[in-house]
A = this chain, B = another copy of it.
Amino acid sequence: MTGFDKSGLDENVWKRIEKSADKIVFKPESGVDCLFAKFNKVDKAFISTLPNLKYIGLLATGYGTTDTEYAKQKGITVCNIPGYATESVSEWVFALILEHLRNLESAKQVARKGDYSGDGFSSIEIKGKKFGVIGLGRIGTRVAEIAQAFGAEVTYWSRNRKKELEEKGIKYESIENVVSKSDFLSLHLNKNEETEGTINKKLVGLIKSGAIFINVSPMELIDFNALEKRLKKGDITFIFDHPDEMNPEDVKKLAKYENCIVYPPIGFVTKEARAAKQEIFASNIENFLKGKPSNIVN
């Protein structure tokens, strides 16, 4: 195991894994044949130190930190955990939007002080607004559906058209149109070589004045300098939740703007997501050992 300790899994899941394994070590020895990893680098150099390796089980959805191509060459199966946090993250997006719209932090605080006047509070509704989703994978799809239930006019851009969603009234538009017309803009792309910088300088400039831009995906999807410049202009609100994956200086550069709201990375942290993640993690190793591997990414 690498980047892993006992706290990552619940007792019952450990038991399943212990049952599957002859021996478990927390610092990989040259003889290991199965490796568990979270977000630590599992690159060519590291894989080369484990000549017997046959399986890499990731306790994560993303596999950008693993050299899946090299693993494939070596005949190593890499499995991830897709979709476990779909609902958790989708609900999180609306939590962030509604908290901001209703100014709940201040509302709780004034009420705690005994001020029940409501003076100074005003909001807008989600209903009737243009809600744009970039990337219509699992999470993007659920975000689009929930936005529609709130009464928003939902448009999307995604690499592939999703006819099923379009039949429900979620409209496909060019990425330029989605970005420039949306009152709420939510980004849901995986990070990979193709998607990095998708929201480039031109698109950042196109974001509608007054828009609320939510990014619960990796920050590498957005042109950083353009975003900072736009925040400085002060006419959009930006909400994000992966400061932990950024250079601390970059976080500070954004967080200093009043119109930038930073959250810790807890969008995927629900009991249901945690349970689903571990269930898939344990099943992946069991399935691999049975010769029927699941959730292979390479």
Contact with B along A106-128 (1 / 0, CB 8 A): 01101110111110011111111
Task: Kindly state whether residue A223 has any CB partner on chain B within 8 Å.
Answer: no
Task: Kindly state whether residue A289 has any CB partner on chain B within 8 Å.
Answer: no
Instruction: For the complex formed, measure the closest distance between the CB of A99 and the CB atoms of chain B, giving whole angstroms.
Output: 5
Query: Which of B88, B125, B262, B266 touches A87 (beta carbons < 8 Å)?
Result: B125
Task: Kindly state whether residue A150 has any CB partner on chain B within 8 Å.
Answer: yes
Instruction: For the complex formed, measure the closest distance between the CB of A103 and the CB atoms of chain B, giving whole angstroms.
Output: 8
- Residues on A facing B (Cβ under 8 Å): 87-88, 91-92, 94-96, 98-99, 101-102, 104-105, 107-108, 110-112, 114-118, 121-128, 145-146, 148-151, 243-244, 248, 251, 255, 261-266, 269-274
Bound Cα distance from A95 to B123, whole angstroms: 12
A150 / chain B contacts, CB cutoff of 8 Å: 91, 146, 149
A94 / chain B contacts, CB cutoff of 8 Å: 94, 98
4 additional A-B residue pairs with CB within 8 Å, beyond A99-B99, A111-B255: A95-B104, A98-B98, A99-B108, A123-B269
A121 / chain B contacts, CB cutoff of 8 Å: 264, 266, 269
A122 / chain B contacts, CB cutoff of 8 Å: 269-271, 274
Q: Is B123 a contact of A88 with CB atoms below 8 Å?
A: yes
Instruction: For the complex formed, measure the closest distance between the CB of A129 and the CB atoms of chain B, giving whole angstroms.
Output: 10
Bound Cα distance from A43 to B104, whole angstroms: 36
Q: Is B266 a contact of A107 with CB atoms below 8 Å?
A: yes
Instruction: For the complex formed, measure the closest distance between the CB of A235 and the CB atoms of chain B, giving whole angstroms.
Output: 18
Q: Is A108 a contact of B270 with CB atoms below 8 Å?
A: no
A-B pairs with the 6 shortest C-beta distances?
A149-B149, A95-B98, A116-B244, A121-B266, A118-B264, A87-B127
Instruction: For the complex formed, measure the closest distance between the CB of A187 and the CB atoms of chain B, giving whole angstroms.
Output: 19
Instruction: For the complex formed, measure the closest distance between the CB of A123 and the CB atoms of chain B, giving whole angstroms.
Output: 5
20 contacts between A and B (CB under 8 A): A87-B151, A92-B102, A95-B99, A95-B102, A95-B104, A98-B98, A102-B266, A107-B266, A108-B263, A111-B264, A112-B255, A114-B248, A116-B251, A118-B244, A118-B269, A122-B274, A123-B266, A123-B271, A124-B270, A125-B271
